[in-house]
Amino acid sequence: MKPETRREVMFGGFGGQGVVTAGFIAGQAAVVYDDKEAIFTQVYGPEARGSACYSGVVISEGEISYPYLLNPEIMVIMSQEAYEKFLPRLKDGGTLIVDSTIVSPDKQAEKYRLYKVPATETAEKLGRRIIANVIMLGFLGAVWDALSIEALQEAVKGRVPKKYLELNINAFQTGVKLGKKALKRKT
C-alpha cells in the first residue's frame, strides 16, 4: 500500500457557478484518469443558487486517512463572498486563483501565490458564462502538479453534455493557455 501523499484543492463561489461540478471533475480526473485516490466533498447553503458554497478534493497516491479538507494548498475562488468567507482556510504560502471578473483581492492575498484569471469575462467571449468553471479547471491543470492536464480534460469530456462538448473543450484549453502564460510570468 502506498503512503498518503495528501494534496488538497478547494473551489469556492456561489451556487450556480459550477463550483461543485468543478470539484467533482477534479476528483474524477484524479481517480479515473490519473490513477490516484481522491475524496470529493461539497458544502452549500440552504438556498442552492446565490449563496456561498464550496467543494473540496483531497488527492493522494495512497489511502486517504481523513476525507475532509484540512489545509488546502490551492484555492479557486469565483465570487467575492467566497473569497471573504473561505480565504482564511488557505494554507500559508498557498496558491490562490481568483476569477478577476468578479473577485477583487485585498491585502490578505499578498501572502499567497496569486493568479488573477478573467474566467467569467473569457467565458462570455466564448459564448456562455456558465463555462467559467471549466476555464478555471484548465488553468488549475496548468499551474498545479497534483492533477494532469490530460486527466482533467478527459474528466471534462465525460461530464459535459455532448451538445456542449466542443464549447467546454475550447474553454478548458483556453484556461490551460492562460495558466501556462501566467506560469511564464511568475518565473
Q: Which residue has the cell 498557498?
A: 94
Reported in sequence order, the residue ranges of the chain that DSSP labels E, i.e. its strands, are: 7-14, 37-44, 52-60, 74-77, 95-99, 113-117
Residue with cell 457557478: 17
Structure confidence at residue 4 (pLDDT): 66
Cell numbers for 20, please give them.
Answer: 461543485
Tens digit of pLDDT for each residue in 12-34? 999 889 999 999 999 999 999 99
Q: Which three cell numbers stand for residue 160?
A: 459535459
- Report pLDDT for 46: 60
pLDDT exceeds 90 at position 43: no
Over residues 66-89, the pLDDT tens digits come to 999 999 999 999 999 999 999 999
In angstroms, the CA 58 to CA 72 distance is 9
Domain regions of the chain by residue span: 7-186
pLDDT at 112 exceeding the cut of 90: yes
**pLDDT tens digits, 124-164:** 999 999 999 999 999 999 999 999 999 999 999 999 999 99
The CATH fold assigned to 7-186 is Pyruvate-ferredoxin Oxidoreductase; domain 3 (3.40.920)
- DSSP letter at 2 equals P
